[in-house]
Amino acid sequence: MTAGAVHYLPCHALIVITDGQAIWNINGHRIHVAFGELIAIEQNSVIKVLEGGSLDAAGWQIQFQTYALFNNAQEVMKCEWHVPAGNTFQKVQLTGGFLTSISDHLREELPDEVGRSMVENQHLLYGLLTYVYRTQPSEPQTIEEGIKQSIAYMQEHYDEVITREQLARIAGISQWHYSRKFSELCGKRPSDYLAAYRIYRAQEQLLLTSAKFQEIAKKSGFEDVHYFSRRFKHFTGVSPKNYAKTLQRRRVVSMSPLSAEVLIELGIIPHAVMVTPLLLSGHQRQLFKQHQVELLEVPQYVINIERIQQARPELIIGHYLTEDTKKKLRTIAPIITGLTLDADLLLTQFAELFDKREEAVKRQLQMKNEVNAAKQQLKAIIQSAAAVMVLRVEPFGYRYLGGDSTGVSQLLYQQLGLSLPESLKAGEAWFNPCSIEQLYTADPDYLFVEIRVMENFRAEENMEKLKESSQWKNLRAVQHNRVFYIETSLWIDGCGVVGQKIIMEQVVSCLIGPQTDGAQ
């Protein structure tokens, strides 16, 4: 599903997200979907894709109808069905074991016997519906939950006057009891917590806008600009006027290896970076070790708030973060998100933020020269319009790299000018669904294959299945020994300032050099 696409569901549907994440609007409600989630949606619903593309969401959709039997099972009629919780749709989390069983089911060949096939499909459907109907036990609000509700109120209304009386009322306890329990839970007084939260928001405004101090103070919940300046200096050690100038020496935590790599290229050494070890490219690991950047290791698709808090950041930077994650991080430090995944543009964004314009221009020129050098080496391939395709083999199927997206897509098809097979040019997403028949129709001259790396899932079985097919054996790239295997950690997650050069070297070596790593 690409950004801007609109999908109408004439039947009830269950959608299983098997990779990545996306932002949808379902019947007017904004919703974030991510790996391992099941979304149940009632019929006649409309899904608008707000953000997809580089967020790399993939999954399966199962449509169904519900029926009832009448007159001693002699009549069958459609009956209404509604999600047990929610308004026209409901989202639940699947377990890893159930996801594995789904993967196994979808990889199997369909039984020749129609009756058996129907029973197996019904079994899968009812298994998914079981998750939808699971209920969470309801319990009376505890004091801790009341405190959390008061914190949520602070975060939503920090720009307004907030009293301890209001907060205690929300928590459902006395003012004295509230202050004591809040300090026990959060490690600081309610007034200090609120002041810190307001200062963090003011820091963001100072970095991202050109608003005057008076306006920023008011938007941050401070009516008196002089009091704002005193509190700001107390928290940061400098006045609001001088804050941006000190950013280079602040403790920065990067939410992605790509951001950390680009920062280092500008001479800004982040204190820590969040990484999934399985997906960390070798050049990034070496770079972070060389500059003594702390690695906050987390499982795939997980953001560990506690680990970030332990790193004591003074600024958190990242690309895409969900609203729920941003809400949690805003209590720790100022955050800057929504950054591009394009290394060249990211250099520009960080240059503005950290006052490193000269360094950015120099590095961008160097990158441009590297691209031009690679294009010169690939001149014959480019002029011949030879079709170059990147195929992703996943535990749940196959996808291909689109020609008009970010990251390695931008590098291959826009900067280097390589040609995508004609039949695949309609794909607008970063990675687009691809059947074995589509691969055969595309029939590229050169084929790069990414055997998708994911925690708890393996794509090797699907690769073997593909190799056994007649379509694979008849591909030009296979017959001419022009199939090359690439790493997820580099091509997908490591296409930064340094990674881009390494990828280009691999492309040049594969397309015009000795082809010793071809198809088996």
Task: Look at residues 77, 155, 95, 166 and name the one whose alpha carbon lies nearest to residue 131.
Answer: 95
Greater confidence, 394 or 55?
A: 394
pLDDT at 300: 87
Q: Please enumerate in sequence order all residues whose Cβ is within 8 A of that of 289, keeping only pairs 6 or more positions apart, or say none.
A: none
Task: Supply the pLDDT for residue 516.
Answer: 42
Is residue 316 helix, strand or coil? strand
Cα separation of 311 and 273, whole Å?
10
Range of weakest confidence among 99-113, 117-131, 172-186, 423-437: 99-113
Residues present in the chain in total: 520
Burial 44-76 (b: 16+ CB within 10 A, else e): ebebbbebbbbbbbbbeeeeeeeeeeeeeeeee
What percent of the chain is predicted at pLDDT more than 90? 65
Tokens of 20: 């990545």
At residue 74 the predicted structure's pLDDT band, cuts being 50, 70 and 90, is low
**Looking at residue 351, what is its pLDDT?**
96
Q: State CA 435 to chain mean position distance.
A: 24
Task: Write down all domains in the chain, each with its CATH number in brackets.
Answer: 6-133 (2.60.120), 143-244 (1.10.10.60), 250-339 (3.40.50.1980), 375-512 (3.40.50.1980)
| Cα–Cα distance measured from residue 164 to residue 295, given in angstroms and rounded to the nearest whole number | 39
CB 409, CB 433: distance < 8 Å: no
State the pLDDT confidence band at 409, using cuts at 50, 70 and 90.
very high
pLDDT digits (tens, 9 = 90+) for 377-388: 999 999 999 999
- Is the pLDDT at 517 greater than 50? The verdict is no
| pLDDT tens per residue across span 19-33 | 888 889 999 888 888
Report whether pLDDT(361) > 50: yes
Those residues with Cβ within 8 angstroms of residue 269's Cβ, 6 or more apart along the chain or in another chain: 263, 291, 292, 293
* Long-range CB contacts for residues 512-518, cutoff 8 Å, separation at least 24: 512/377, 512/378, 512/380, 512/381, 515/481, 515/482, 515/484, 517/484, 517/485, 518/481, 518/482, 518/483, 518/484
CB atoms within 10 A of CB 357: 13
Terminal alpha carbon distance of the chain: 33
Q: What is the pLDDT, as a whole number, of residue 180?
A: 93
CA 491 to chain centre: 16
- Paired sense of beta strands 252-254 and 89-93, if any: unpaired
- Please state which of the ranges 207-216, 260-269, 411-420 shows the lowest mean pLDDT: 207-216
Residue 424 DSSP symbol: G
Q: Give the amino acid at 26.
A: I
Q: For tokens 């329990």, name the residue.
A: 181
Q: How far is CA 188 from the centre of its chain?
A: 33
Beta strands at 294-297 and 388-394: parallel, antiparallel or unpaired: unpaired
DSSP assignment letter at 94:
P
The pLDDT assigned to 333 comes to 96
- Contacts for 359 with CB less than 8 Å, ≥ 6 apart: 265, 266, 267, 351
DSSP state of 95: P
pTM confidence score: 0.81
Residue 100, pLDDT > 80, answer no
Rounded Cα distance, 490 and 502, in Å: 8
pLDDT the model gives residue 80: 86
Got the DSSP string for 344-355? HHHHHHHHHHHT
Mean pLDDT of the 276-300 span: 96
| pLDDT (mean) for 286-314 | 95
Question: In sequence order, which residues have a C-beta less than 8 Å from that of residue 29 and are 6 or more positions away?
Answer: 87, 89
Q: Per-residue pLDDT tens for 423-432?
A: 999 988 889 9
Whether residue 187 has pLDDT greater than 60: yes
Helix axis angle for 225-236 and 190-208, nearest 10°, is 90
Identity at 113, one-letter amino acid code: E
Cα 338 from Cα 324, distance rounded (Å): 14
Half-sphere exposure for 465 (CA within 13 Å, toward CB): 18
* CB of 171 closer than 8 Å to CB of 143: yes
Distance CA 513, CA 286 (A): 27
- The answer on pLDDT for 515 being more than 70 is no
Q: What is the mean pLDDT of the chain?
A: 89
Residue 226 backbone dihedrals phi, psi, to 5 degrees: -70, -40
E strands, 85-210, are 89-93
pLDDT at 287 over 70: yes
Is the model's pLDDT at 520 over the cut of 50?
no
Q: Tell me which of 102-111, 197-206, 302-311, 449-458 is least confident.
A: 102-111
pLDDT band at 514 (very low <50, low <70, confident <90, very high): low
Do the Cβ atoms of 512 and 378 come closer than 8 Å?
yes
- For residue 419, pLDDT beyond 90: yes
Residue 193's pLDDT is 95
